[in-house]
Structure 1
Amino acid sequence: MPQPLGHSAADALRTPLTVRLPDGRRLGFTRYGNPAHQVVVFHHGFGSSSLELPPSVALLNRLKLQLLAPDRPGVGESDVYRRLTFPSFAHDVAAALDALHITGPVGVMGWSVGGVHALAQAACYPERVAAVQLLSTCLPLGEPAAYRHLTRTWKLLRWGQTGFPWLNRTTFLWLSRQWARHPDRTIDGFVLLMRQAEQDVTGQPGFRELLRDAAVYGFAHHGRGVYDDAQAWCRRPGFFIEDVQAPTVLWHGTADGIWGPDNIPYLANRLANARLNLLPDEGHMLYLENWEAILTEMRQLLDEQLVSRYQPAAARI
C-alpha cells in the first residue's frame, strides 16, 4: 500500500508517496493535485526527479487533473534496480498504479529522456494510456533506426557511455556529491553551460530553485539511478515506437540547445496518431513557461478520448 512521507503547508496538494512493488522494491512518487481527479503520469528528465514540476494547484483543480510523477529506480525514495530498462520501468509504473487502485486509462507525459519512458509506457500498456505528450523529447540512443538520425555529438556521447562505463559511473558519483554539498554552485555552473534559450528560463527565480532541488533529489543513492538510466537509454529500447497508438503531441522548441528539433519530425512520422507543436525560439525547458497550455491540452486530449470511447455505444441506442 502507498505510504505518504509527509508534506509542508507551502507544498499544498504536493504529496510524496512510496509504493511497494511486487518484488518488494520501493517506488517513490510525487503526487500533485487532488487524488480524486483524473490521473496523468509524468516521467521526469535525465539527472532530475519528480520534483521538477512547477507549482500549479489552482490550475490542476480547475482542470480536474492530478499528476503522479514517479522517480525512476535509484532516484529519490525509489530503490536502485540495476537491470533497469524502458519496459521494466513501464511495468513498475503499471504495478504502482494497481497499488494505488488506478485502473482506468491515464494520460502520460514526459520531459527530455522522460519522453522515451512515456513512449515505452504507451507502447507496453496501450489499453491503459489514453493520451501522450512528449515535452522536448529525445530519441532512444540504442535503437539502430533512431541512431542513424542522431547528431555526431549524441553518437559520441553514446560511445563514451557504452565504451567507458566505469568513467561515467565515477562522473555521476562525483556529481552526486557536488549536488549534495554545493547545490547552488552546481546549478549555477550548469546554467552557464547552457545556450541562451535555456539560460533565459533556468536562471529565472523560482525555476532555478525548482530545477536545483529536483537534481539534488535525482542524484540520491550516489548517482546510481542516473547512471542506470543512462545505460538503459544507450541500450536497445526493448519496445517499438510504432506500437504507440494513443494520440500524441510533441512539444519542441526551435532553439532547443540540448536536443535540437531536426529529428523530431522523424519521430512524429513513426507515431500513428501524432501532432507536432514547434515553438519558435523556445529551448529545452519550454515546459516550465508553457505549463498551463500543456496541461490544458492534456485535459482536452483526455476528454476527446472519453467521448470516442462512449460514442459507438451511444450511436447504437
Structure 2
Amino acid sequence: MSFPTAGPPPPLTVGLPDGRRLGYTRYGDPAHRAVVYQHGFGTSGRALPPDAALLARLQLQILAPDRPGTGQSSVYRPLTFPSFADDVVALLDALGIAGPVGVMGWSVGGVHALALAARHPARVAAGQLLSTCLPLGEPEAYRHLSPLWKALRWGQVSFPWLNRTTFLWLSGQWRRHPDRTIDWFIRLMFAEEKRVSHQHRALLRDAAAWGFAHHGRGVYDDAQAWCRPPGFRIEDVQAPVRLWHGAADGVWAPGNIPYLAQRLGGAPVHLLPGQGHMLYLENWTAILEEMAGMMNA
C-alpha cells in the first residue's frame, strides 16, 4: 500500500485550563467528524499516514495529540492515564467539538484510548485498539503479562534513574543523528516490524524525533504512568470497541488479546496472519473505513 508523499500537516497547540500547552496534529477537514488518535510509546501524533483523500472520502478528521513532554506539549508530572484523558477532553472543548468522537490507540496508546472511553463515556462513540498493550500496573492484567514484560516493568519501577538516563541519551541521539538512530532501531526489530518500518522509515523517524523532545522527559513519564495503577476500569468502557492485532507481533504477542476482548464485553478481534506490531500502517484504509462505519452506526 502506498500513501501520498506529502508530509504530515503542521503541528498545532491549544492552551489547557491549568496554563499548559497541548500540542496536536490535525489530519483532514475540521468540518468533518473527529477521531482522536493516541500515539504509541516513544513516538508522537505525527506517525500517521497523511492520506487526505481517504479522510475526505470518509468525511473524517483525525486529532492526534502529543502526550505531555512530547512535541510541543508541556511537561506534566505526574502523568496518568486519567490526567491525559482529561487533557484530550480539554482539547475537544477548545476546538468546539461537543459531540461524541471516535478514538483509536496504537500500542500503549490503546490503553490511553481505553482510559478516555472509560473516564468520559459521553464523549466517545466508538473505539479501535491497534496492536494494543495491557496496563502494566493493574494487578489483574499483570497476571497475564509475559515474563519479558514483567521484567521490563520491574526494571522501570526499581531503577527509574537508569531509564531516565537512557531516555535522556536517546533524546540527544534523535536530535543530532535521526537517520542513524532510526536505522539502529530498525536493526533491533523483529522481522515483520523491520519489514514495515523500512517502508515507512521517514515517517517513523520524524515521529520519534518529535516524540523525544524535552530531553526525553515525556517518554520517561509515559513509562512511569504505564507502570502505575491505571486509575480506570477497563469494564467501564461503554462504547463499542474493535481490536486489531498481528499474529506475528514481535512486540506484544497476541496471546492475551482474547483476555482483553473478553473484559470489553466480547469485543471483536481482527487477528491478521503474518502481520506484526506496525500493522496500522499496512491496514490504514480498512481501519478508517471500519471507524467510519462504527461512527455511522
Does the TM-score normalized on the shorter chain lie above 0.5?
yes
Structure 2 residue aligned with 1:265: 258
Retained in 1: the 8 A contact 2:138–2:229? yes
The 2-side partners of 1:193 and 1:173 are apart by 20
After superposition, give the CA deviation of every residue in 1:112-142 in whole Å (9 maximum; x if it has no partner).
0000000000000111100000000000000
1:144 matches 2:139: yes
CA contact (8 A) 1:137 1:252 kept: yes
Is 1:280 equivalent to 2:273 in the alignment? yes
Matching of residues 125-164 of structure 1 within 5 Å: 125-164=120-159
The whole-number CA distance in structure 1 between the counterparts of 2:101 and 2:265 is: 19
8 Å CA contact 2:67–2:84 kept in 1: the answer is: yes
Q: Which residue of 1 aligns with 2:189?
A: 194
Whether 1:291 aligns to 2:294 is no
Match for residue 22 of structure 2 among 27, 38, 55: 27
TM-score w.r.t. the length of structure 2 is: 0.97
Residues 171-190 of structure 1: pairs in structure 2 closer than 5 A: 171-190=166-185
**Which consecutive residues of structure 2, in runs of 5 or more, have no partner in the other structure?**
none
RMSD over aligned CA atoms reads 1.1
What is the number of residues matched between the two proteins?
A: 293
What is the aligned partner in structure 1 of residue 105 from structure 2?
Answer: 110
* Partner AA of 2:153 in structure 1: R
TM-score (norm 1): 0.91
Corresponding letter in the other structure for 2:33: Q
Matches of 1:139 and 1:23 in 2, distance apart?
29
1:46 aligns with 2:59: no
Q: Distance in 2 between matches of 1:119 and 1:89?
A: 11
Asked whether the 8 Å contact 2:6–2:50 carries over to 1, the reply is no
Q: Is the 8 A contact 1:245 1:273 kept in 2?
A: no
Q: Name which of 27, 31, 35 aligns with 1:36.
A: 31
Cα offset, 1:273, TM superposition: 5.6
Distance of 1:17 and 1:200 partners within structure 2: 31
Go from structure 1 to structure 2 and tell me whether the alpha carbon gap of 1:106 and 1:273 turns closer, same or farther (over 3 Å shift).
farther
Amino acid in the other structure paired with 2:23: G
Distance 1:131 1:16 in 2: 25
Alignment match, 2:51: 56
- CA contact under 8 A between 2:102 and 2:125: conserved in structure 1? yes
C-alpha offsets along residues 63-99 of structure 1, whole Å, 9 cap, x if unaligned?
0000000000000000000110000000010011101
User: Secondary structure of 2:25's partner?
Assistant: strand
Cα displacement string for residues 35-59 of structure 1 (whole angstroms, at most 9, x for unaligned residues) = 0000000000000001100121100
Letter in 2 for 1:252: H
Instruction: Supply the distance in 1 between the matched residues of 2:61 and 2:285 (Cα, whole angstroms).
Output: 14
Q: Aligned equivalents of 2:108 and 2:58: distance in 1?
A: 26
- Paired residue type of 1:215: A
The corresponding residue for 2:80 is: 85
Percent same amino acid among aligned pairs?
Answer: 72
Q: Deviations over 1:258-316 (max 9, x none)?
A: 00000010000000261111000100000001000000000000001xxxxxxxxxxxx
CA radius of gyration, larger in: 1
Find the aligned partners of 2:189 and 2:7 in 1 and give their Cα distance. 29
Does residue 221 of structure 1 match 2:214?
yes
Q: Which residue of 2 aligns with 1:239?
A: 232
* Shift, 1:158, TM fit: 0.2
Aligned to 1:203: 198
Unaligned 5+ runs, structure 1 = 1-8, 305-317
Offset of 1:110 from its aligned partner?
0.4
Task: Determine the C-alpha separation between the residues in 1 that align with 2:267 and 2:101.
Answer: 17
Residue in 1 aligned with 2:243?
250
Residue type at the aligned position of 2:123: R
**Residues 196-235 of structure 1, C-alpha deviations (whole Å, 9 max, x = no match):** 110110011xx11000000000000000000000000000
CA–CA distance in 2 between the matches of 1:100 and 1:55?
Answer: 21
